[in-house]
Amino acid sequence: MLLALTGGILLGAVFPSYSDSYSLYGQAFLYILIFVIGISVGASTETLRRALKVLKRDVLLLPLFSISGALFGGIIAGVLTGVPLKISLAVAAGLGWYSLAGPMLSVVSPAWGALAFLSNIGREILSFSLIPLLKGKKGPLVPMAMGGATAMDTTMPMITRFSGEEYVLGALYNGMVLSMMVPLLIGFILSM
Amino acid sequence: MIYLLLVFSIGILLGLLLKNREREFKGDSSLNVSVILMIFFMGASIGSSEAIRESALSIGLQSLVFLISTLFGSASFAYLWWRWASD
């Protein structure tokens, strides 16, 4: 992923006159990606339905608090940095899914795309560092919320280690719901 | 963005139709290829913009503020919810 990004930056720096084409191709692949994500979301509804039957209320409502907290943090960051509110909310709505949030915001401006990419990749890296430090002291839900959309894949092993094996399904559910919400939230916020 | 949401919705509908044939749908490889190409072209857009190259430090600092506040926002809301739910 970083190789692709670095290669792209080098190509753009060497041949800057094709910037319109880069943006156009990027958007074309974004549409393909969103379509494929939609298929994955539709095909995984059965897993979600099964999770809904067995999970407790605290885990079931966790995505709502993860999203609200991230958006609240986005508003604070927007005030501190002077980034427009709409962009701040869209960056925060990436919920750690940098490979989607970056390109989606690139449609508005490459600079906002870079901001979304960096802040969401940073969120994943910081989660990796902070989840072990917490050692489950702040309850089992905090590591899941920190993982954001990555709770169902990259941060899941750490979440299960520090929240407990019984939270595997909860982490999967939280990651799935947040992953479904990322394209919807960013799309909705940017179209406001 | 409206078109993106529309494409996403069509994808979900198709996914619902395909849900009993998950093995026939090889979505993972097309997802990976799309992500890599999309990141590549996003990088090219960034690299071709002199304004972004010049403000790289400022974007880096802004992203630091965003990553800290969004991460702690999610974590603190989840913590407060857990405390409230376990009472």
A24 to chain B: closest CA residue: B41
**Any domain includes A120:** yes
Q: Which residues are CB-contacts of A71 (< 8 A; sequence separation ≥ 6)?
A: A89, A92, A93, B73
What is the full per-residue pLDDT of chain B (87 aa) written as tens digits? 678 888 888 988 888 887 766 555 555 676 778 778 888 888 888 888 888 888 889 999 999 999 999 999 999 999 999 999 887
Q: Is the CB of residue A133 less than 8 Å away from at least one CB of chain B?
A: no
**Partner B, chain A 45-104, Cβ-Cβ below 8 Å:** 45-46, 57-58, 61-62, 65-74, 76-77, 80-81, 83, 88, 91-92, 95, 99-100, 102-104
CA distance A181 to chain B (A): 11
Domain span including residue A166 = 64-78+86-192
Q: Which of A1, A77, A141 is opposite residue B81, by nearest beta carbon?
A: A141
Q: Rank A45-49, A62-66, B35-39 by mean pLDDT and report only the highest.
A: A62-66
Query: What distance lies between CA B41 and its chain's CA centroid?
Result: 16
> pTM of the predicted model, to two decimals?
0.86
Q: ipTM for the complex?
A: 0.88
Domain count, chain A: 1
Over residues A130-138, mean pLDDT: 82
**Any domain includes A24:** no
Block residue for tokens 């990606």: A33
**Any domain includes A32:** no
Neighbours of A16 (CB within 10 A): 15
